[in-house]
Every structure is written in structure tokens, then in C-alpha cells.
Amino acid sequence: MKRVNAIFMKDWKDLQRNGYVLITLALPLFFAAWLGRIGAGEGPLAAMPITFALVIAGAFVQAAMVAEEKEKNTLRGLLLSPASTMEILIGKSLLSGVMTLVVIIGSIFLADFRVPSLPLFTVSIVLGLVIFLAIGTLLGLLSRTVMETSILGMPVMFIFGMAGMFKEMISNETVVTAINYLPSEQLATMWAGMESGESVGGNLLVLAAWAAAAVVLTVVVYKKRRMD
């Protein structure tokens, strides 16, 4: 816990001086406020601010923070420190996770989103956090600079955050099925199912599989990047 807390406090001090990250964190809140003003707190559009917050505040911010460590050559010392893999990954993800939760809560209030079932909704948010923080860590490890995370992150934002908007325009059933299995679509389907009283066990299983796969892939890449 001391090592995790030390990494968390270092990231917190770095965040206060990072205007790029602070502006990025504010984007989902502006989007949620806009949807709230046009009265989109219900229906298919209602879940978008929350999934947008997971993609932007979770994946993008996490990627930027990890890439910044690499750019400043401070990540090398952390990777070679006595801290274990899980201590480093948890410590590096903790601040992004807390900030993402704050942005999600703010988005819920600003967009007037009605939470259908708090326990199941909380479980879905935790799984979503694990997925997108792992993806963000992966992007950060693969990027050489903070600006490079924006280039690598654009396909991630498009696929994981906006692909559902284009389903009606796609005639290929295979592509549509693949989009339906994306975490953002599973989350939106799960929240709609909770509101209508449908079973969401299948959605939870898919999200859990995504979380496990994302964490395993991140750990594998981390161990390969540990020694360059």
C-alpha cells in the first residue's frame, strides 16, 4: 500500500501541472451538460456521456499519464524498482480511476441520467473502468510521447466510443455483431436491460471477458517493455 500510495501521490502532483489532462477530463462533462440541456436523459443517447467518460477520462487520460512518464524517462526507474507488476499497474491506474469516477458522477447529474439499478450499475462501471484503464495503460506503453497517444487513441475513441452511432448505416451483419460485443455497446445494452427488467447476465460475462483479456494483454506488454 505504501508503494501504491507513493505512485498515486506522484501522479496527483503531476496532474495538477498537466493542462492537457485537465482539459481532457472536462470534455465528457461539457458533452453531458449539452445532452442535459436538450433533454436527452432517457433513451439510447442517455448512456453516451458515461461511455464517453470511460473512453476519454479512462483510456485517454491513463495513456497520457503513462506516456508522459516515458517521455520524461521516469517510467524506466519505476519499472526497475522493487515494486511488483500489480503494485505499479494499480498505482498508475488509481488516480485515473478516481478521476474517471468523478467525471462519471458529474456526467450522470449533468445529463440527468437515471440510474436503473445501483448495485448492477456499480458492477458495470467497475468492469468498464478495468477495461478502459487497461486499454489506456496499453496505449501509454506503446506510445513514445504524449502527442503520440492522441494518434494511437483516435481509433480507440472511434471504435469503442462512437462505433454504435454508425450501426444503422452498416449493412454487414458480421460487422454489426462485432460492434454489439464492444464494451461500450454492452454497457449501453446492459443499462437499457436493467431499466426494462431484462436479464443482464450475458452482458456481465462479456464485460468480464473483456476486462480479463485487457488486463492480461497489458501485463504481457508491460513485461516486454520492462527491459528494452
DSSP H stretches of helix in the chain? 2-16, 19-37, 48-53, 61-71, 75-79, 85-110, 118-142, 146-156, 173-180, 183-196, 201-226
Average pLDDT, the chain: 80
132-148: burial string, b at 16+ Cβ within 10 Å, e else: bbbbbbbbbbbbeebeb
Helix (H, G, I), strand (E, B) or coil at 5: helix
Provide mean pLDDT across the span 167-177: 76
Distances in Å between the Cα of 105 and the Cα atoms of 26, 115, 125 are 13, 11, 11
DSSP characters for 171-193? --HHHHHHHHTSHHHHHHHHHHH
Q: In this predicted structure, what is the pLDDT of residue 41?
A: 53
Q: Specify the higher pLDDT residue, 103 or 155.
A: 103
Other residues' Cβ atoms within 10 Å of the Cβ of residue 180: 15
Q: In this predicted structure, what is the pLDDT of residue 40?
A: 54
CA angle 26, 221, 14 (to 5 degrees): 35
Cα 27 to its chain centre, rounded Å, is: 14
Q: Is the pLDDT of residue 205 over 90?
A: yes
Distances in Å between the Cα of 17 and the Cα atoms of 10, 27, 192 are 11, 18, 39
Q: Is the pLDDT of residue 112 over 60?
A: yes
Residue 224's pLDDT band (boundaries 50, 70, 90)?
confident
Contact 148, 60 (CB under 8 A): no
pTM: 0.85
The candidate with the shortest Cα–Cα distance to 96, out of 30, 182, 24, 185, is 24
Q: In this predicted structure, what is the pLDDT of residue 39?
A: 61
Q: Is the pLDDT of residue 44 over 80?
A: no
Contact 32, 111 (CB under 8 A): yes
Q: In this predicted structure, what is the pLDDT of residue 126?
A: 92
- Measured torsion, CA atoms of residues 108, 150, 224, 79, in degrees rounded to the nearest 10: -70
Provide mean pLDDT across the span 113-136: 87
Q: In this predicted structure, what is the pLDDT of residue 184?
A: 85
Cα 168 to its chain centre, rounded Å, is: 25
Distances in Å between the Cα of 151 and the Cα atoms of 64, 69, 86 are 11, 18, 27
Q: In this predicted structure, what is the pLDDT of residue 197?
A: 74
Residue 228's pLDDT band (boundaries 50, 70, 90)?
low
